[in-house]
Structure 1
Amino acid sequence: MLPDDGYSGALLARIWNPDVGGPSPAAVRADGVYDVSEDHATVADLCEQPDPAAALASARGRRVGSLEELLAGSVARPESESVLRFLAPVDLQPVKAAGVTFAVSMVERLIEERARGNPEAAEAIRAELGGVLGDDLRSLEPGSQKAAEVKRLLVARGEWSQYLEVGIGPDAEIFTKALPLSSVGPGSRAGVLRESRWNNPEPEVGLVVSSAGGVVGATLANDINLRDYEGRSALLLPKAKDNNASCVLGPFVRLFDAGFGLDDVRSSTVRLEVTGPEGYELAGESDLVEISRDPADLVSQLIGDSHQYPDGVLLLLGTMFAPVSDRDVAGGGFTHRTGDVVRISAPGLGTLAHEIAHSQDCAPWTFGVRALLANLARRGLQG
């Protein structure tokens, strides 16, 4: 789970602590995991501090167990209230996601649109679009004069698309991925709809943003996507993206300090590994140096005069990796099977691992904001 430099960073986790009957922010330290809820009742509260990394380091805390013990609880019975385990490392922050932020993912969205949700049609469309678009889109700065000229030429050819609009146009696509407290964490069972026949993981970095718009940390994420639903209609994006257990976050938030910051995120390589129950293996990488929109620009389009987030917000930056290799039938591309184990890793952020199940079979989301407020009141804490 740990980053390459181990415990040297400011690692903020969120745990279910059965001793207090509820969730707590936690510091992950070399000698164990510490519940710091007496100083900071919520992750959102800690992330609003002037220096969150320093606040985590100085927080009083009670050791609840080792990293290995919490991970074992996360994998064994993730829905049990009697088991000490990791949760998704944010709480009151809504999870937003930026789409079509890499040229490669933009082309894959065009394929979904043309294929109308049919994976067997994807390969022929991919070859056709490659001939039309070439590789020039990788070097385009979204919203630039050159991008506007490319748009004019593609419109004249009848090739323009809503995905090209958000891929190279001035306005980013930013949508709601998950509501506060609905995400799942490391070791969990994460969900795809039982009805979906074409879906994939989306390994991403998420930026933790304070209510003032400052980026205070980063985490890993799986923005699970149903390609058949979105391909049928872009208006089905909520159905493709926001289902029970379809947003996985963790294992920790690495808070920014002198040793790790936004420039380290910009140079990160996110690695994906999928191991299937039948022995299938998939691996790929997403290099953030190839992102079309700078993370700071995406944050500026997320929060500001036109939109506020009083409890802060988590922004997923998108991915360049879309699995296209055939799994079941020739030309069918990749889709998940239940029992798949997904591992998403980056050197500075650690490894987020989880299993795939149907959303309908994952533990239902029952602990919401009212439950959190009631729990904190019983514990004498104020978020």
Structure 2
Amino acid sequence: MRTEAGVVPFDGVDGIAGLLALRAGELRALVTETAGREPAGDVRLLAPVDGRMEVWAAGVTYRRSREARMEESSERSVYEKVYDAARPELFFKAVPWRVVTDGEPVTVRADSPLNVPEPELGLVVNRHAEIVGYTVVDDVSSRSIEGENPLYLPQAKVYAGSCAMAPGIRPVWEVADPLALEITMTVRRGTETAFAGAVSTSALHRGLDDLVRYLFLGQSYPDGAVLATGTGIVPEMDFTLRPGDVVEIAISEVGRLVTPVE
């Protein structure tokens, strides 16, 4: 557990996956019990995913996302239909060892001329399908590959350096209303601001519990999962990430993520 004084280890818990084996009430009791202990000293903070955890993401959960997907795609009706459908779009994003964190580089594909960061609220879900915390996720994506054909979605979304996550988890009981959080993103290019945008999670078209319910339909996550909830910040079609850019994402009450681009 990270505190103002440093990092405090949890007794009897080995890694994030061990925490997500606990029920929400058990996890809260453990965090409360550990507060105030002496820190363990200097450590390097990693992305809060390990073991058999998986990172998944939801798509087209904001109106702006629907508009952007329709603008870029050769199959516009696919995104229009999924926005209002009962079943959300969910896709696999990364395994733990592929996730980068604050200060580490995200990447753009060499075979894609149009690439964007996608700032998203991440739901940290335990093995019992309970939301126990929140984090910051950057779902870096190739707009040109996805736009060419929706069946290319895995190639547009899943590649080395395409998933970044803040090094902290904000416990769910410390956030009064997850649907009233401000998400901001700034892309810096040298001394200039190449792009800046903001959105509130109040614009989410899907309920958080409903997204988790669909994630757990048909399969289990024995070490828990992180589910990114989609983006409401999408640049216009004339913007693309470039090597050397720096992406800064912040979510109020949750955390901050800063990554260079390679």
Name the TM-score, length of structure 2 as normaliser. Answer: 0.92
Look up the equivalent residue of 1:322 and give its one-letter code: V
Given the alignment, which residue of 232, 257, 260 partners 1:352?
Answer: 257
Take 1:335 and 1:310, find their aligned partners in 2: how far apart are those partners?
37
How far 1:278 sits from its partner (Å)?
A: 6.2
- Could you say which residue in structure 1 is the equivalent of 2:243? 338
Q: Whole-Å Cα distance in 2 between the matches of residues 334 and 290 of structure 1?
A: 23
Q: Deviations over 1:228-254 (max 9, x none)?
A: 110111111111111112100013111
Equivalent in the alignment of 2:145: 229
Gapped regions of structure 2 (runs ≥ 5): none
Q: Which has the higher contact order (CA 8 A, sep 6+)?
A: 2
Secondary structure of 1:298's counterpart equals helix
Q: Take 1:28 and 1:312, find their aligned partners in 2: how far apart are those partners?
A: 20
2:31 maps to which residue? 56
Amino acid aligned to 2:227 = L
| CA displacement at 1:226 relative to structure 2 | 0.4
Q: Measured at CA, do residues 350 and 180 of structure 1 come closer, stay the same or move farther in structure 2, by a change above 3 Å?
A: closer
2:17 alignment counterpart: 44
Per-residue Cα deviation, 1:103-162 (whole angstroms, up to 9, x for no partner): 111111111113x9xxxxxxxxxxxxxxxxxxxxxxxxxxxxxxxxxxxxxxxxxxx711
**CA distance in structure 1 between the aligned counterparts of 2:140 and 2:29, rounded to whole angstroms:** 33
Q: What is the CA RMSD across the aligned residues, in angstroms?
A: 1.8
Give the aligned partner of residue 98 of structure 1. Answer: 58
Q: Distance in 2 between matches of 1:191 and 1:299?
A: 28
Answering whether residue 112 of structure 2 is matched by residue 196 of structure 1, we say yes
Q: Deviations over 1:28-86 (max 9, x none)?
A: 112112344x5211101112223323313434775222xxxxxxxxxxxxxxxxxx422
Q: Distance in 1 between matches of 2:192 and 2:180?
A: 32
Alpha-carbon distance in 2 for matches of 1:284, 1:232: 26
The TM-score normalised by the length of structure 1 is 0.64
| Contact persistence 2:5–2:39 (CA under 8 A) | no
The separation in 1 between residues aligned to 2:112 and 2:47, in whole angstroms, is: 25
In 1, Cα distance between equivalents of 2:257 and 2:82? 29
Letter of the 2:57 counterpart:
A
Larger radius of gyration: 1
Whether the aligned pair in 2 keeps the contact of 1:49 and 1:55 (CA below 8 Å) is no
Residue of structure 1 equivalent to 2:123? 207
1:54 and 1:273 mapped to 2: Cα distance?
37
Separation in 1, partners of 2:45, 2:150: 34
SS of 2:12's partner is: coil
Measured against aligned partners, the alpha-carbon deviations of 1:196-225 in whole angstroms (never above 9, x if no partner) come to 210111000010111111111010010001
Q: Does 1:286 align with 2:199?
A: yes
The match for 1:242 is 158
Matched, 1:28 2:5: no
Mapping of residues 1-383 of structure 1, within 5 Å: 27-36=1-10, 39-50=12-23, 51-59=26-34, 63-65=40-42, 84-92=43-51, 93-114=53-74, 161-257=77-173, 259-260=174-175, 264-277=177-190, 279-304=192-217, 306-324=218-236, 333-357=238-262
Provide Cα deviations, 1:293-342, integer angstroms capped at 9, x if missing partner: 111111111114x2221111111000111011xxxxxxx61100111111
C-alpha distance in 1 between matches for 2:79 and 2:15: 37
The amino acid across from 1:296 in the alignment is D
Give 1:55's aligned amino acid: L
Aligned to 1:124: none
Mapped partners of 1:161, 1:208: distance in 2: 31
Q: Point out where structure 1 has 5 or more consecutive residues left out of the alignment.
A: 1-26, 66-83, 117-159, 325-331, 358-383
Determine the C-alpha separation between the residues in 2 that align with 1:61 and 1:183.
29
The aligned length equals 257
Q: Give SS of 1:265's match.
A: coil
Task: Tell me the secondary structure at the aligned position of residue 205 of structure 1.
Answer: strand
